[in-house]
Amino acid sequence: MNIRVLLFLHLISIPLVLILDFLFGEPRWIPHPVVIIGRLVSFLERRLRKSFTPRALRFWGCVLVLLVCALTFFVPFSVLAALSFSALHFCGAVSWACVALAFALDVFWGFQSLAARCLGDEALNVYRKLSASLFEGRLAVGRIVGRDVKNLSEEEVIKACVETVAENTTDGIVSPFVFYAFGGAPFALLYKAINTMDSMIGYKNEKYQYFGTAAARLDDFANFIPARLSVFFMFFASIFLRLNFLNGLKIFFRDRYKHASPNSGQTESFVAGALEIRLAGDAVYEGQIERKPFLGDPIRAVEKDDILRTVKLMRLSAVLCMAGLTVPFLLFFFFLT
């Protein structure tokens, strides 16, 4: 087994994980890593909240982050390393069987780290339900956003859906794809652990202001480069889809840091500009109004088809991301030939 064979297998795995995600999404009959990671976070949180002073809460929050990251990375890494070691020390059919099993597990875990199919399906469900009634649209968007939805207008439901798809193009596709391309399944699952911890405890509320600090900052760090890569892929996707890519760039450079998150505003601002609509603004969370600046200019009114446009933009960006991540490995492969 030489490096060219391993590199060739990795070249195949990068497009394969996206194809599998597009085809199957998140089958409910397969245990999903995020569910397992979420249970681990909840288990550790119950046992690590040993004090209520800010300093102690930050410390135990860091401990939780380290434990979750270590377990999430080293479990798949150990399995794949053991199979690789076996492939090197056996001959013939046994060696190739170990290689095949390692490849299958790596691709399987990589496919589970992506969420393009799920994100698109949920957004299209909002579109269908909103076409039936505003009440059903509110319930549908409530599945994918954290804000209160019972009083949302039709425009606010559309905007919430568009913002979620734009933001999660980074969290659910580009970030895990980048981690997978450069580190395989262990790094992809490590990213999912980081993102899951942020979604569970990375809040600036009374409960998690100190305990979730480490999780939130690590998520910001992990998404910093992928968020900007997402805009890069969205730019070329918007050209192909005949969206206003120049206005997308304009709004991106003007509004990308208006969001509370250093990363979410990157893609949301570009999408707002490319669609020629205004996103963000005030939202209600747990009965409290959270003041947010607007992203973009209201060049035209928001409409339901903006959900469809954003889903197409997300999917094409995912394909371009796959192609972009394959190129350096392809060049390296031919360099070794």
Contact 45, 65 (CB under 8 A): no
Give CA–CA dist 272/299, Å, rounded: 10
3-state secondary structure at position 285: strand
Q: Apex CA 141: angle with CA 195 and CA 306, to 5°?
A: 100
Give the pTM: 0.93
Question: How much is the pLDDT for 330?
Answer: 84
pLDDT at 190 over 80: yes
CB 183 within 8 A of CB 214: no
What is the pLDDT at residue 196?
96
Q: What integer pLDDT is reported at residue 301 of this predicted model?
A: 94
Instruction: For 69-124, write each residue's pLDDT tens digit.
Output: 999 999 999 999 998 888 777 776 777 788 889 999 999 999 999 999 999 999 99
State the average pLDDT for the chain: 91
* Angstrom distance (rounded) from CA 210 to CA 206: 8
Domain tally, the chain = 1
- Residue 166, C-beta contacts closer than 8 angstroms, at least 6 positions apart: 267, 268, 270, 271, 279, 310, 314
Secondary element (H or E) of residue 134: helix 134-141
DSSP 173: I
pLDDT confidence bin for 1, thresholds 50/70/90: low
Return the structure tokens found at 43.
Answer: 């288990």
What's the pLDDT tens digit per position in 252-294? 999 999 988 889 899 999 999 999 999 988 787 877 788 889 9
DSSP sequence for 180-236:
HHHHHHHHHHHHHHHHHHHHHH---STTTTTTTHHHHHHHHHHHHHHHHHHHHHHHH
List the domain range (segments joined by +) for residue 116.
3-336
Q: Which of 139, 129, 113, 130 is nearest to 34 (CA)?
A: 113
Contact at 8 Å (CB) between 257 and 265? yes
Q: Which residues contact 101 (CB under 8 A, 6 or more apart)?
A: 83
